[in-house]
Amino acid sequence: MTYSAPLRLFWYNKEQNFGDAISATIVAHVAGRDVVWAGHGRCELYALGSLMKMIRNNQTKPRERGGKPFVWGSGAMSGFADLSFLKHVRVTLLRGPVTAALLQRDDRLFGDAGLLIAEALRALDGAPPQRQDVIGLVPHMHFADDPKFVRIAAENPRIKLIDVRNPDAHAVVREIASCAHVFSQSLHGLVTADAYGIPNTWIDPQGIHGGAMLKFHDYAAGIGRALGTPVEPRDVADLAVKAPTGDLPYAEGIATSKEALRASFPAGLKQREAA
């Protein structure tokens, strides 16, 4: 298809958070089209984020105009008593096997759409950020001003506090991409680090919202990553001293998910060059 109109994408925009904001960058890159935000009634695509509950709540009947929206690289954070909403959407790929199980699907390939941010941003920047001897500390947006995180960075010059609420989402990605290791309480802090092949450690997400543990395990299982137990914020400074900076042992799983994301993107939403 050749389009002059932008692709209509839904992403969560009630709070400033880079993990939601980069959805448009990634979709524009894969689709080869401009992207605009659209609400549940007009969007053509759902992508990055734990959006399944919102999809369930808003795609409850057939649309009067337009086709069913696609779901690509999205995930869930809880179960569903009623799955009838699925007949009103077209699922092409889910974030992980936990989401698939909650939707009673027998999928084999998975991927969080955020895994494509490295290639999407490189297409804009021309080159990835230069890696530095810096340890990134990425609190969840609701804990970005928490004194314990501020103190960790203030007392350890090698540790850089990264604020996911920065209105420039690309700047957040570049900060993460320039680190030697990343400690993150934000799911897409980990996803972004994985996208760039940067070793990373999961910080306990307790208290950020319901279903937090589920979404981390869902994502990790989708790339074949043994996530283990999250570390406590108080332990970050000590762990940072010997934090690994080499290759990721689950890099093959990341590559498989990236390929699955590219292959499953709805062909009918892609821009095709005129002959």
| C-beta atoms surrounding 148 within 10 Å | 12
> Is the pTM value of this prediction over 0.75?
yes
Residue at token pair 């109109």? 5
SS3 state at 36? strand
pLDDT in tens, 134-177: 999 999 999 999 999 999 999 999 999 999 999 999 999 999 99
pLDDT at 115 over 90: yes
SS3 state at 198? coil
Query: Mean pLDDT, the chain, as a whole number?
Result: 94
Positive or negative, the CA dihedral 26, 144, 241, 224 is negative
Is residue 76 within 8 Å of 103, Cβ to Cβ?
Answer: yes
SS3 state at 88? helix
pLDDT at 275 over 60: no
Residue at token pair 């925009």? 13
CA distance 68 to 62: 8
Is residue 8 within 8 Å of 36, Cβ to Cβ?
Answer: yes
At residue 274 the predicted structure's pLDDT band, cuts being 50, 70 and 90, is: very low
Distances in Å between the alpha carbon of 12 and those of 25, 37, 50, 150, 260?
14, 9, 9, 27, 23
Among 80, 139, 117, smallest CA distance to 258 is for: 117
Q: How far is CA 111 from the centre of its chain?
A: 9
Quickly name the fold that domain 128-256 has: Rossmann fold (3.40.50)
Is residue 213 within 8 Å of 229, Cβ to Cβ?
Answer: no
Is residue 167 within 8 Å of 16, Cβ to Cβ?
Answer: yes
pLDDT in tens, 233-246: 999 999 999 999 99
Bridge partners, residue 94, by sequence: 74, 110
